[in-house]
Structure 1
Amino acid sequence: MSDIVVLGSLNADLVVSVDRAPAAGETVPGRSFAVFNGGKGANQAFAAARMGGEVAMLGRVGDDAYGRGLLGSLESVGVAVEGVRCIEGVTTGVASITVEAGGENRIVVVPGANGAYCPVELERDAAFFKGAKLALFQLETPLETVVGGLQLARERGCITILDPAPARELGEEALSLVDYLTPNLSELALLSQRELGEESSAAEIVAAAKSLLDYGVGKVLAKLGERGAILVSRQGVERVYAVSVRAVDSTGAGDCFNGAFAAALSRGVAPLEAARFACMAASISVSRAGAQDSFPSVEEVLKGA
């Protein structure tokens, strides 16, 4: 069995670059087209494996070329994919992304098989949590499946990590099952119902994070981009600073952070040091283009540290 179980989404990202997006009824020429492997679940599983973790992925794809490509990408870094099953008659999840020359983008996400990963399907995967040290979740699969997975992980003694993205409100039932919650600023603002932004002080961020501990969250690891991260628990507050790099592409940086953090924890690294490891990994990733292609190896992260 694997040390880390990742339950989450697998998406094919279809990216079209244009000078400007078309208006209704208009056709415009595109500059380039590319297909990338994505989905927050797959990205985090890929990252955790690149950072030295033993990882099993749980999710659903359609029986199509996109699904096969996603599985091949995960297998290339050693992720066990027996828990990723094909659902007949449903397409693999896709994100259609139009990127304008100025950087603005328009995204349409079709959940496809990700949306079909229901609690009944989850029952088939319960055995994957047995013997695992950690279980990592996001919010691109149905919420009832995420909550069910958190419950299964807790019952089997796994440390639970939840990346509450894409941002949505969560009830006490879900939050009480989380050992490490890893929101960015906008997600922290929504969950804590507080006004937060890039100019928010560390004290304001800490206060928002502490409010979530009252719902049963074990620790909050707030991801602050180039400002690093803040680890908040009932025992105290620890600040982690990011390494200064020339940013090229921030796509997938949060997923890289989560995968790296899980990989470090699975090796017995203390939470604060694991957060530092994750910050270094994310800093390296933003200095490169792409999502999964930008994720560094464990050797690169340790060398950078």
Structure 2
Amino acid sequence: MERTLLAIGLTTLDVTVRPIDALPRAETTTLVEGIALSPAGTAGGAAYVAARLGMPTKLASAVGDDLAGRLVRLALEEGGVDTGLLTRMEGRPTSTTVLAIDSGGRRPNFHALGAGMLAGADAAVVEAAQRADFVHYGGVGGPRLDGGAGAEALRAAKAGGAVTTLDLIALNARVREELQLLLPHVDYFMPSAAEAQALAGTEDLDAAADAFLGWGVKACIIKNGARGAYAVLPTGRHALPAHDIVPVDTTSCGDSYCAGFIAALACGWEPLEACRFAGAAAALVAQGLGTLGRLEGFEAAEQAMRNLPLRAKE
């Protein structure tokens, strides 16, 4: 797989603990099954998974000058991610999330803001976007990206011939305004169903996708958890079921879906088949703890796509 990916936007350190069904009383200790430390975030997590799938990947983001930032950089580099555009911000902590996964797979979390939301798109990032084959944008809401800088990076990517994808961090009052700047330069918008419904003001995923097409995006893939995904592609509209698994940790399933989709496209797969591959990659991630879960590589994800059973339609 020689085609390259640049991921732009949020990077965090995730501390994932399972299971936590209640907080210990006073200062007692409760044993848990596992604790994982992982690079994560809409850019960092997607980059980490894409590299595991064999794709040459570069990350444009930011971490703090603390131990958490050093851990994130080490893990990314050991995972094969090029961190040449991962900025180390003096005097700032690394964005960090503690996720308390309960026995049912739910994931209440605690987040400390940090350098990750201050990722930017300077001249070096724009130049990298022009040279990449794929650019994944996970920076909506970042104060150094919103209002034009992120759109300029995506515009440069399209001018260079890249395939562009976009995922959301979290909704805020200005997301619609920012998306209307970004989506004309995006090939595939990949929100969650909850995000799509809130943005479009409708429960109907078809209508939500139509709204995003009206904002300029070329195609829309709506991730819908255990219900699978709904893909609105130039070739048609497709409801894709999820795999029938017992989830352990669904924290990074959205990021792994995006990464899987991009990696399959990079191998020459058609978009609909790439969606199916993405669902399998996410299913493997969901069966383990942390950003990579039980994902071993591209071939393993392809085998899972062929062999894992699918959930019955609801």
Class of the TM-score when normalised by the shorter of the 2 chains: 0.7 to 0.9
1:192 is aligned to: 200
1:149 is aligned to: 153
Q: CA deviation at 1:155?
A: 3.0
Partner Cα separation in structure 2 for residue 83 and residue 147 of structure 1: 18
1:66 is aligned to: 68
Q: CA deviation at 1:93?
A: 1.2
Q: Deviations over 1:195-228 (max 9, x none)?
A: x2xxxxxxx3222212211111100011122222
| Matched letter for residue 6 of structure 1 | A
- 1:175 and 2:183 correspond: yes
Q: Deviations over 1:182-207 (max 9, x none)?
A: 1111011022111x2xxxxxxx3222
Q: CA deviation at 1:34?
A: 4.1
- 1:241 and 2:247 correspond: no
- 1:266 and 2:259 correspond: no
Partner Cα separation in structure 1 for residue 128 and residue 191 of structure 2: 26
Which residue, out of 85, 94, 113, partners 2:87? 85
SS at match of 1:59: strand
1:50–1:103 Cα change, 3 Å: closer
Partner Cα separation in structure 2 for residue 270 and residue 234 of structure 1: 11
2:96 is aligned to: 94
- Higher mean displacement: 182-191 or 141-150: 141-150
What is the total number of aligned residue pairs between the two structures? 292
SS at match of 1:152: helix
1:217 is aligned to: 217
SS at match of 1:211: helix
Q: CA deviation at 1:63?
A: 2.0
1:89–1:127 Cα change, 3 Å: same
2:311 is aligned to: none
- 1:158 and 2:162 correspond: yes
SS at match of 1:125: helix
Q: CA deviation at 1:263?
A: 1.0
| Matched letter for residue 238 of structure 2 | E
List aligned pairs for 1:258-297, cutoff 5 A: 258-297=258-297
| Matched letter for residue 192 of structure 1 | A
Q: Deviations over 1:41-86 (max 9, x none)?
A: 2110011111121111111112222112111211222111111121
TM-score by length of 1: 0.85
Partner Cα separation in structure 1 for residue 216 and residue 283 of structure 2: 30
- 1:43 and 2:45 correspond: yes
Q: Deviations over 1:159-187 (max 9, x none)?
A: 11001232343222122222101111101
Partner Cα separation in structure 2 for residue 302 and residue 99 of structure 1: 27
Q: CA deviation at 1:242?
A: 2.4
Partner Cα separation in structure 2 for residue 90 and residue 47 of structure 1: 26
| Matched letter for residue 84 of structure 1 | L
2:131 is aligned to: 131
Partner Cα separation in structure 1 for residue 110 and residue 182 of structure 2: 27
- Higher mean displacement: 82-91 or 134-143: 134-143
1:207 is aligned to: 207
Partner Cα separation in structure 2 for residue 21 and residue 252 of structure 1: 23
| Matched letter for residue 11 of structure 2 | L
TM-score by length of 2: 0.82
2:116 is aligned to: 114
Partner Cα separation in structure 2 for residue 99 and residue 273 of structure 1: 31
Q: CA deviation at 1:99?
A: 5.6
Q: CA RMSD in A?
A: 2.6
